[in-house]
Amino acid sequence: MNMQPNKILDEKLWEMHLTRQFNWTIHLRKMLYDKADMKNMGKILDVGCGIGLISKEIHELSKIEVHGIDINEKLIEKAKEKFPDGKFIVGKAEEMPYDDNTFDCTFCQFLLMWIKHPFQVLLEMKRVTKPGGKIICAAEPDYGGKIDYPDDYNAVPATIRAIMNEGADPFYGRKLKATFARVGMKFEIGVSAELWDDETMKREFEHVWEFAQASAKNDMMKSWAKAIEKRDREALEKGERITFLPLFWGIGNKEKETKNFASEEMGK
């Protein structure tokens, strides 16, 4: 995630948050890795690499050379600790210091919703990808499609407001297709629409509740977080709890360069 993680959360909380995102999108990424045949690639760029969890995961597919870039220096330091074999640098996703046609694949996850001009990022990803390579954008959420039941505390509108206050676009998921179309390449768009089963919800909500308490800025927010936790525990015990968040993904194909045979003939 290519953003400055210091507005409301300290380093420990950000690591907790990024680790949770990594864990509950494992199946989605595996599907995308397989679809792109990533295990047979040689060099991949993880854009908005955060603490390097996905970079390491990609490397372990078949000892792929993985580079990572993130705007935040502290996250890059953590990435180097977690994955010493990765080639990490601090930099902007909108202006990446790589030559044209460098990587077999460029990859990002939970990134574009935090970027003011996502089109520029996707254009850069295309630029540094080799002809015939893949551009993958995974797990761009759309909170306008989020469903929680019960939702007595209006948690969805509150989440949307909090995301907007942090400068992100909570509705970016639905815009991913339009961004790919503007860049100009063949692409495929899909959406992950899985419902968590009760055991997964119980496990994940333990992290959610811990995170909510740790990140609450005042007593009122702590009290609100406790009330939601109480509601959630009761609904889970009754087997009523539902949570759903659509995650959009896209895979672009950078066309291979073709020789202009007519021009060659004229030049002879």
Residue 3 placed within a domain: no
pLDDT at residue 260 tops 50: no
CA pair distance 72, 88, nearest whole angstrom: 11
pLDDT at 64: 95
CB within 8 A of 180, min separation 6: which ones?
A: 122, 137, 187, 189, 250, 252
CATH number at residue 187: 3.40.50.150
pLDDT at residue 267 tops 60: no
pLDDT at 195: 87
Tell whether the torsion through CA atoms of 34, 36, 41 and 43 is positive or negative: negative
Alpha helix locations (H) across the chain? 11-23, 26-36, 53-62, 73-82, 118-128, 155-165, 176-183, 198-215, 219-238, 261-267
Whole-number percent of the chain with pLDDT over 90? 68
pLDDT at residue 11 tops 50: yes
Residue 80 placed within a domain: yes
Residue 154 placed within a domain: yes
Residue 137 placed within a domain: yes
pLDDT at 127: 98
Per mean pLDDT, which range of 21-25, 150-154, 204-208 is the poorest? 150-154
Residue 235 placed within a domain: yes
Q: For residue 10, name the pLDDT band (cuts at 50, 70, 90).
A: low
Residue 70 placed within a domain: yes
What pLDDT digit, counting tens, does each position of 99-122 carry?
A: 999 999 999 999 999 999 999 999
pLDDT at residue 4 tops 70: no
Q: For residue 2, name the pLDDT band (cuts at 50, 70, 90).
A: very low
What's the number of domains the chain is made of?
1
Give me the chain's average pLDDT, please: 89
Per mean pLDDT, which range of 31-45, 74-88, 210-224 is the poorest? 210-224
Domain that holds residue 189: 11-255
Residue 15 placed within a domain: yes
What pLDDT digit, counting tens, does each position of 219-257 carry?
A: 988 898 898 899 999 999 999 999 999 999 999 999 987
Residue 72 placed within a domain: yes
CB within 8 A of 50, min separation 6: which ones?
A: 1, 18, 70, 75, 79
186-192 and 247-253: which strand pairing? Answer: antiparallel
Q: For residue 266, name the pLDDT band (cuts at 50, 70, 90).
A: very low
Contact 178, 137 (CB under 8 A): no
DSSP state of 89: E
